[in-house]
Amino acid sequence: MGTISKGVPRTVAGLALEFSKLGLSIFWRTILAENTAVYEGLFILDANKLARDRDGLPSAVNGLIEGAGGQIEVSRLWEERRLAYQIHGQRKGAYWITYFRLPTDKLADLTRQFELHDGILRQLFVRLPAALVDPVLEHAKEGNAPAAEGTPQKAGPATVEATT
């Protein structure tokens, strides 16, 4: 085995030690930059601001994601509801759900930008496992699309009438 410096063997542990001496090396930054993941972002938006400007706050959410280098897959209102406790003096919140692709090294910066935005009360990001990306995105896109006229609707549970 060769050595890197001062007798440290050239192993994975030795390379990690050498990289730790350099801080976050260019090697690790390159690996993080190439790693892109699909995230589910759940935002609790200020319901009052959303009611005043239905397009402004969602556009700001999407704009921050795209500004960080992300690509929006699905973005829609989930529901508006009363909060369990006040957040920044607000009793109601609008839950906005977004699925997007983003380089993994950009997530910390994006989280900070959302924390500073006054129209966003809370946010949560979940990285989707690779095996679930396609089914989850397909389901989210179906929930976003209105039913076309003339297409059969799913039937409810069948009922049987009792006769005597």
Mean pLDDT check: name the lowest of 63-72, 128-137, 138-147: 138-147
Predicted pLDDT of residue 161: 44
Predicted pLDDT of residue 154: 41
Task: Please state the pTM of the whole predicted model.
Answer: 0.65
Give the C-alpha separation, 53 to 48, whole Å.
Answer: 9
With both helix axes pointing from N to C terminus, report the angle between 56-67 and 107-116 in degrees, rounded to the nearest 10: 150
- Summary mean pLDDT of the chain: 76
- The reply to whether CATH 3.30.70.60 applies to domain 35-143 is yes
Please check whether residue 15 is in contact with residue 4, taking contact to mean a CB–CB distance below 8 angstroms. yes
Please check whether residue 93 is in contact with residue 80, taking contact to mean a CB–CB distance below 8 angstroms. yes
